[in-house]
């Protein structure tokens, strides 16, 4: 560590600058596993961007004159400079003039990085490939060393964006559009005026005068904000999974309901603390930079800290919000946004979610009392009762519809029936699967081909040919080039349409307004409204309004006004999560950790988008522990009387009889599992609609007691290479126990006998070639000191633990899919418990990119 910072220290006089010497290692506080990443915009003699990757106790550093580019065609010069201390990565402010690197520094991006291969080897060879999980930069990147010239002493590299879903060829440079700090939201000028000078002991001294510079010239709210701060600094409230509404066919009756306008925009949660502002989408994506014009008004709110819930939209002169106009504002950078706030979840250190909605809205109204009426922050008011009249009036005004909410209920993350949405017209998300060429000059396509998921299966849903501006046409055409494919991703497309169509991978999501459905299940008179970047394709399903009587129960309109519910710790009888009635929500399911049934259900709601693609539509076997882990548990794979309807059933023929098996389709099914005391979900290797053709192979590397986890990792790497030699790509998963699963996605078409034969041949070959390391026999006597290569999970009816499932074991651990690079860094097979898993999963990004796109056939005859 000292040797690596020798060059850094030689350039600085630490008696004159307060920059850190690196004598004491400090963490950035952002990434616990030592793989933090950041970019600092640095206005020194020439403005440039400092790109830094944490490795082996220091920050590898490159100076990039033009900054990073999202266009793979742009190869940006990156000059390798001296390593910097870890604590350098949290700095934003000014280095004194006359000192090395004197000038203003902005924290332009931060997050984590994930190397594809050994870092030291990559630096030596001159090619370092990695994934970035930042607030602005994502996806695959590479640093490539240039061949040096004899007269050039610099160590020159190129920073290149890889061609993936995060690439944006031809777009305006992100460094031109993203001009504020990810830490404070300030511009370079604001940071310079703030006069934050390097302090290596900032945490202790708090020696900053930023407030003086950033409050100059502000209006009425600034004084209140300053006064609120005197009570003490507050931490920025963390992201909370938002509460979602259930679509119903009519508004509910009764005085216990209040009704709000339904806005046509993006759901956004804003977290505010001092000058720090973060704006999240419903999935937890950081879109602060996209909505940067809202940052300053949010900073001005008279509070120390707050977590707000609302909708960002663009309204016309009559107050009608328009998703298409919002899309235009985002693409053109006009920033003509309004933030329509309807809830507050945290305020000045207090969690308000256990309070009634009516109480929360009163608190929010007071908080927003001083904001300008012209916006951009608006209080979303409501009307009490008379839902039918409110809805009719909203439709007369040509609004989107209304949201009806129980006035006395607490805030629940996930989809619930205490919030209901009623639409005046028909619109929903669809997946774009192709396009038809246009005969008109200058028009890249005539119509889009749509698909929607129904019954767990993607199906063709028709075409839409209207609603496009010239700008949208060009933007869509550019996006289509990145997702082209030769064949249609769904069946059932009429031959005449398919003949002239161009097809796309099913990843782009479009918002479509339409008049209804045809008898064939196609959209009627559809119009394109815009792309939905906040919703993944895997979450798009056909929306079917629930009868309002079913959603609210027979007592709607007859209930007496209820008193506000007490906080969760006193709510012992029931709760509703994702529309599922949870009994005994405070029952502890994992005693040492104190994790309750409610928290288990909340976990599954939080990670549903990541888990469901692996689980939905597959027959399941369940480990049930009704009284919690450590008490009586049992294995269940067949349906039983009284089983929740949210579990689907399928008849599967066994050797002696046909039995009813279970499977789920959505997040409500996961929550229903938690309600039934399910602590583990195990998967079949095939889907319910094609049980006799497996599409998932699993090798369970199960070590004998006493073996080091390094031996298991080496075995997984060996398995990966053997599978690659057979032409198969594989993915690792930490099981939450002591072993590793190596998972191989396959194209269905072969039989279970062929499936097992291949897996068994692979396992036995490993045992024969390296008998001192591996065994393919489950006998405990033969496994001593070895790793059992368990291939038996690849038979019809056998199951394997599902990705992201909890484990019914001490520790409340979770089965975690990881990348191969992350596996190499893992210390054990149980890296995270359910208490922390949701945050880690959201922060880390998809560990198995490309998994669901692989269409690899089992190489029969190989093994």
Residue 344 has pLDDT above 90, yes or no: yes
What whole-number percentage of the chain has pLDDT above 70? 86
Residue 831 has pLDDT above 50, yes or no: yes
- pLDDT number for residue 493: 92
What number is the average pLDDT over the span 162-173?
78
What number is the average pLDDT over the span 158-164?
89
- pLDDT number for residue 451: 94
Q: What is the pTM of this model?
A: 0.43
Q: What would the pLDDT profile of 188-241 be if each residue is shown by its tens digit?
A: 887 877 655 543 333 333 333 333 333 333 344 444 454 444 344 567 888 888
What number is the average pLDDT over the span 587-604?
90
Maximum mean pLDDT: which of 362-371, 471-480, 580-589, 839-848:
362-371
Query: What does 531-563 look like in DSSP terms, one character per residue?
Result: E-TTS-GGG-B---PBPHHHHH-TTTTTPPPPP
More confident residue, 724 or 564: 724
What number is the average pLDDT over the span 637-641?
76
What number is the average pLDDT over the span 547-571?
48
What number is the average pLDDT over the span 492-502?
89
What number is the average pLDDT over the span 751-755?
94
- pLDDT number for residue 76: 92
Residue pair 485/504 in contact (Cβ under 8 Å)? The answer is: yes
Residue 721 phi/psi, 5-degree rounding, is -65, -40
CA distance to 510, 579, 604, 609, per residue, from 666 (Å): 21, 11, 11, 9
Domains of the chain, CATH where assigned? 6-205 (no CATH), 243-417 (3.30.470.30), 426-539 (2.40.50.140), 568-608+617-674 (no CATH), 696-853 (3.90.920.10)
- Report the sign of the C-alpha dihedral through residues 291, 293, 294, 300, in that order: positive
CA distance to 385, 492, 526, 752, per residue, from 498 (Å): 50, 9, 19, 33
Instruction: Give CA–CA dist 29/518, Å, rounded.
Output: 55
Residue 457 has pLDDT above 70, yes or no: yes
Residue pair 343/310 in contact (Cβ under 8 Å)? The answer is: yes
Query: What does 265-299 look like in DSSP terms, one character per residue?
Result: SEEEEEEEETTEEEEEETT--B-TTTTGGGHHHHH
Residue 651's CB is within 10 A of a number of other CB atoms, namely 10
- pLDDT number for residue 586: 87
Q: Where are the alpha helices (DSSP H) in 730-848?
A: 752-769, 820-825, 834-844
Mean pLDDT of the chain: 83
Residue with tokens 């370092």: 128
Looking at 6-20, 753-767, 773-787, which range is the least confident one?
A: 6-20
Residue 738 has pLDDT above 60, yes or no: yes
Instruction: Give CA–CA dist 826/738, Å, rounded.
Output: 12
- pLDDT number for residue 653: 85
List the catalytic residues.
262
- pLDDT number for residue 763: 95
- pLDDT number for residue 158: 94
Residue 252 has pLDDT above 50, yes or no: yes
Q: What would the pLDDT profile of 24-47 be if each residue is shown by its tens digit?
A: 444 333 333 457 899 999 988 889
What whole-number percentage of the chain has pLDDT above 90? 43
Cα Rg of the chain (Å, integer): 28
- pLDDT number for residue 783: 78
Looking at 256-260, 527-531, 535-539, 700-704, which range is the least confident one?
A: 535-539
Residue 559 has pLDDT above 60, yes or no: no
More confident residue, 186 or 677: 677
Residue 862 has pLDDT above 60, yes or no: no
Residue 91, SS3 per DSSP: coil
- pLDDT number for residue 557: 35
Instruction: Give CA–CA dist 325/511, Å, rounded.
Output: 13
Residue 229, SS3 per DSSP: helix
What number is the average pLDDT over the span 295-318?
91
User: Pick from 110, 55, 132, 135: which is nearest to 825 by CA?
Assistant: 55
């Amino acid at each position: 560590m000292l040797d690596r910072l020798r060059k850094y220290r030689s350039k600085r006089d630490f008696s004159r600058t307060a920059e850190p010497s690196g004598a004491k290692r400090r963490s950035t506080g952002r990434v616990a596993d030592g793989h933090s990443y950041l970019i600092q915009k640095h206005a020194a003699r020439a403005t440039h961007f400092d790109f830094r990757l944490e490795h082996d106790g220091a920050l590898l550093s490159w100076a990039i004159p033009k900054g990073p580019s999202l266009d793979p065609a742009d190869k940006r010069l990156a000059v390798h400079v001296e390593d910097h201390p870890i604590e350098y990565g949290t700095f934003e402010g000014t280095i004194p003039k006359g000192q090395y690197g004197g000038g203003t520094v902005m924290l332009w991006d931060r997050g984590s990085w994930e190397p594809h291969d050994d870092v030291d080897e990559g630096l030596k060879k001159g090619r370092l490939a990695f994934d970035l999980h930042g607030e602005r930069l994502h996806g695959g990147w590479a640093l490539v060393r240039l061949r040096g010239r004899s007269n050039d002493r610099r160590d020159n590299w190129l920073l290149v964006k890889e061609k993936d879903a995060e690439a944006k060829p031809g777009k305006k440079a992100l460094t031109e559009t993203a001009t504020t700090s990810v830490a404070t939201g300030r511009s370079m000028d604001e940071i310079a005026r703030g006069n934050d000078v390097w302090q290596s002991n900032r945490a202790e001294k708090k020696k900053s005068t930023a407030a003086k510079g950033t409050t100059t010239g502000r209006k009425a709210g600034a004084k209140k904000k300053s006064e609120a701060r005197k009570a003490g600094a507050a931490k920025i409230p963390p992201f909370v999974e938002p509460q979602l509404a259930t679509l119903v066919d009519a508004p509910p009756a009764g005085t216990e309901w209040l009704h709000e306008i339904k806005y046509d925009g993006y759901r956004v949660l804003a977290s505010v603390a001092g000058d720090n502002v973060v704006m999240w989408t419903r999935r937890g994506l950081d879109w602060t930079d996209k909505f940067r014009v809202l940052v300053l008004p949010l900073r001005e709110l008279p509070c120390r800290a707050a977590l707000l819930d609302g909708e960002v939209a663009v309204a016309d002169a009559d107050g009608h919000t328009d998703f298409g106009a919002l899309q235009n504002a985002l693409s053109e950078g006009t920033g003509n946004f309004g933030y329509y706030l309807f809830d507050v979840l945290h305020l000045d250190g207090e969690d308000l979610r256990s309070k009634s909605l009516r109480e929360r809205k009163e608190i929010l109204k007071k908080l927003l009392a001083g904001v300008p009426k012209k916006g951009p922050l608006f209080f979303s008011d409501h009307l009490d009762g008379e839902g039918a009249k409110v809805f009719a009036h909203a439709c007369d005004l040509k609004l989107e519809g209304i949201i009806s909410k129980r006035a006395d209920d607490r805030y629940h993350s996930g989809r619930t029936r205490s919030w209901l949405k009623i639409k005046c017209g028909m619109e929903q998300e669809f997946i774009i699967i192709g396009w038809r060429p246009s005969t008109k000059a200058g028009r890249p396509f005539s119509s889009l081909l749509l698909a929607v998921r129904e019954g767990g299966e993607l199906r063709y849903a028709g075409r839409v040919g209207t609603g496009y501006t010239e700008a949208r046409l060009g933007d869509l055409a550019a996006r289509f080039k990145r997702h082209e494919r030769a064949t249609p991703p769904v069946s059932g497309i009429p031959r005449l349409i398919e003949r002239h169509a161009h097809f796309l991978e099913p990843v782009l999501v479009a918002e479509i307004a339409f008049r209804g459905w045809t008898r064939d299940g196609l959209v009627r008179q559809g119009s394109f409204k815009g792309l939905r970047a906040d919703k993944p394709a895997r979450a798009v399903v056909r929306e079917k309004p629930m009868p309002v009587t079913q959603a609210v129960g027979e007592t709607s309109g007859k209930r007496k006004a209820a008193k506000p519910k007490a906080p969760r710790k006193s709510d012992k009888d029931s709760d509703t999560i994702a529309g599922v009635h949870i009994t005994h929500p405070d029952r502890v399911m994992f005693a040492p950790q104190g994790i309750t049934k409610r928290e288990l259900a909340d976990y599954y709601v939080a990670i549903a988008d990541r888990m469901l693609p692996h689980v939905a539509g597959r027959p399941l076997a369940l480990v049930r522990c009704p009284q919690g882990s450590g008490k009586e548990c049992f294995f269940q794979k067949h349906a039983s009387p009284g089983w929740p309807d949210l579990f689907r059933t399928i008849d599967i023929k066994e050797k002696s009889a046909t039995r009813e098996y279970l499977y789920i389709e959505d997040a409500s099914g996961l929550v229903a599992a938690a309600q039934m005391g399910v602590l583990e979900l195990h998967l079949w290797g095939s889907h319910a609609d094609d049980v006799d053709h497996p599409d998932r192979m699993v090798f369970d590397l199960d070590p004998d007691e006493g073996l080091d986890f390094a031996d298991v990792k080496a075995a997984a790497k060996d398995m990966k290479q053997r599978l690659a030699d057979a032409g198969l790509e594989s993915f690792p998963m930490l099981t939450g126990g002591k072993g590793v699963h190596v998972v191989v996605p396959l194209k269905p078409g072969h039989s279970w006998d062929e499936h097992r034969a291949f897996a068994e041949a692979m396992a036995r070959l490993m045992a024969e070639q390296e008998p001192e390391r591996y065994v393919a026999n489950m006998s405990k006597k033969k496994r001593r000191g070895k790793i059992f290569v368990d291939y038996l999970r690849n038979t019809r009816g056998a199951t394997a633990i599902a990705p992201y499932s909890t484990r019914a074991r001490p520790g409340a651990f979770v089965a975690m899919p990881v990348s191969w690079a992350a596996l190499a860094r893992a210390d054990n097979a149980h890296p995270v418990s359910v208490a922390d898993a949701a945050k880690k999963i959201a922060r880390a990004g998809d560990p198995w990119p490309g998994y669901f796109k692989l269409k690899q056939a089992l190489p029969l005859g190989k093994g």
